[in-house]
Chain A
Amino acid sequence: MALGGPQSRGLLPDQRAELMLGALVCAVLLFVLALVVFVFREAWPSFQHNGLRWFGTGGTPDQQIQAIFTSTDLGQKPVYTFHAWPIVWGTLVTTAGAVCLSFVAALFVSVFVVEFAPAWIRALLEPVVRLLASVPSVIFGLLGVLVLVPFIGQHVITDDNRRSVAYIVSLSGYSLLAGILILTLMIAPLMIAVFSDGLRAVPRGWLEGSLGLGINSWRTFWKIGVRTARPALVAGTVLATARALGETVMLAMVTGGVSFAPNPADGLIFFVEPTRPLAATILQTAEQLTSAPMRHTIFAMAAVLLFSAAMLSLAGWAAKQPMKKYGVRT
């Protein structure tokens, strides 16, 4: 770094090093600022044209994408009409489903790991959690496509189900359910890691006090440990939600790849209907970036994702503030 001759140009080595590091930091900040600004600038025409209807219903996004893409072909007027509700709905449902499922699972697993597991299971479970967190999403996608999707297609969906919605959408096993289940498995390790850190930071004396009063160990940990670690629960959930929102490849592989909004009115069939979340839609339409109106539409989807990620990271920051009291660093 900036270690040269002493006191050249009137600056001490320390000052020079600090300036250089600061300049690097500023450069990275400017790069990220440019990223945000350019994504929103490219997205603007699509939002400008559709207004809030962008998030609304009307027509199928796949047909609209086709129309937008081909509108530059024959020198026609560019088309921007895009109503993304089925895609947004797919994103919301997969994210919410996976976050709810994995919240319950991660809470119990981390309570188990921190307090109740025998030492040898704990020694096994901790590296396993970290391992699962680092498995690339394309491998989850591959397993989903080759194992879970055929299973759902053959054993969960009955012929009656298929017939009952055949005039709207075909059920093949590529479904919301597959997406939610695998996404749960992908984000649970993140939650477990943050939850466990929070639960471990609960002051031992508080728990001992409750135990000393004769409260059994489960009730003690549930009522005092888990409640004290609430900020960690929120922070972990926020982190996992951000990951779930941004999950691209796995969802593109297992959710079916049609911009269909699963309809809760269909009862349980709802869960086996196909959909396609925002990030997966971007991935699958990325080849169409060459057409200007399509590029604006794709960037509009990216802007929605980026905005949600920024809001979530803000929420995570807010949730982490009370945690500093207990000395938890996450």
Chain B
Amino acid sequence: MSAVAPPPPASAPTPARRSARDSSASWRWSDRLGLAFAWLLGLAFLAVTVAIVLYMMVQGIRYVRPELFVTPPAQGVSEADSGGFLDPLLGTVIVAAMAMAIAFPLGLAIGVWLSEFGNPGWLARLTESTIEMLAGSPSIVFALFGTLLFEQGALGFLSRTNDGVVYGRSFFAAATMLSLIALPLMVANVREGLQAIPAHVREASYAVGKTRIATVRRVLLPAARPSVVTGAMLGVGRVIGDTAIIVVLLGATLRFNGAGGVPLLSTLKGTGSTLTTFVYQNAPTGEINQPEKAFAAGFVLLSMVLALNFAVDVAARRGRRWR
């Protein structure tokens, strides 16, 4: 008995990670440097982001006036007589609604097909890589393709036409190409949401005699709704933040510049601008150069993005059911 060394007492501190972390004073200098660097960069990253948001907020609150929201932009040489940003604000809303009207059903369909059908396999793989390529492609390339597409005579009814020459810049053109940048986010989120649903949910639905498509519609999509909503809101975020497509395909004119006689349709067929192009043109590098207006519009744009982000967080929290 006495020859055997006593076992370590049960209360001996286990070499837990916490204690190892706490005693970093005993580490080699290179490890300590690394840890210090990680802390430094992490805090710096936090500080920079907070600084950016705070700076935009402060500048925005300094320059935002309620009347800016209801005054259309005007030709002017000073901050006082260049109007507000009613038209760009409406333009942002219109463009986001139209682009999502295309991207939402398409993204839903592709996501459902990829997750629930995906037959034949090569087509599914091709679709996946195509969507991934779309996500990585610069939006300016889509914009250029848009000019080609909408200058075709057959699509002339979607924009202004002058003596048979199709102008090719309109809300229709811009929204169609913008839907391409929202599509990958939509597809990825729908797919992820559907795949997170356990197989037994599908089997239970089949067992009570539902067809596959009925299962998708009545069981899976309602269950995956938070992911669908997340995808749609991320898509809206990308769409309202895009500038290149708007500059090239919407003309980025100061005000709505309708085409044709029908009231609403003429606006959609005509050119206009959004908050992003308004900021772009009002920045010192732009054509109008009214930085205060740019800050005000940028503040509104950033607030919209922040609100969307917050909504995505809420939706994601509600979507944890299956995970």
Contact = CB atoms under 8 A, between A and B. Distances in A.
B302 A135 contact: yes
B283 to A, nearest CB: 5
A217 B45 contact: no
Nearest to B20: A217
A309 B136 contact: yes
Interface stretch (B61-69, B72-80, B139-147, B255-263): B139-147
Given A13-B213, A138-B276, A305-B140, A28 B110 contact: yes
A111 B38 contact: yes
B183 to A, nearest CB: 8
Q: Is the interface of B mostly helix, strand, loop or mixed?
A: helix
A87 interface: no
A165 B285 CA distance: 23
B158 interface: no
Contact of B284 (A21, A127, A145): A145
Contacts of B183: 28
Closest 8 CB pairs of A and B: A246-B138, A136-B241, A17-B213, A112-B42, A242-B136, A112-B38, A21-B113, A249-B243
A184 to B, nearest CB: 10
Nearest to B299: A139
A38 B27 contact: no
Contact of B52 (A2, A135, A212, A298): A135
Interface string A293-320: 0000011001001100110110011000
8 contacts: A29-B126, A137-B241, A138-B283, A142-B283, A146-B283, A222-B34, A286-B144, A298-B144
Given A127-B313, A131-B309, A329-B192, A253 B283 contact: yes
Interface in A8-34: 12-14, 17-18, 21-22, 24-26, 28-29, 32
B45 A109 contact: yes
Interface stretch (B3-11, B93-101, B265-273, B290-298): B290-298
A242 B84 CA distance: 36
Contacts of B234: 134
Contacts of A253: 280, 283, 285
Interface stretch (A57-65, A116-124, A264-272): A116-124
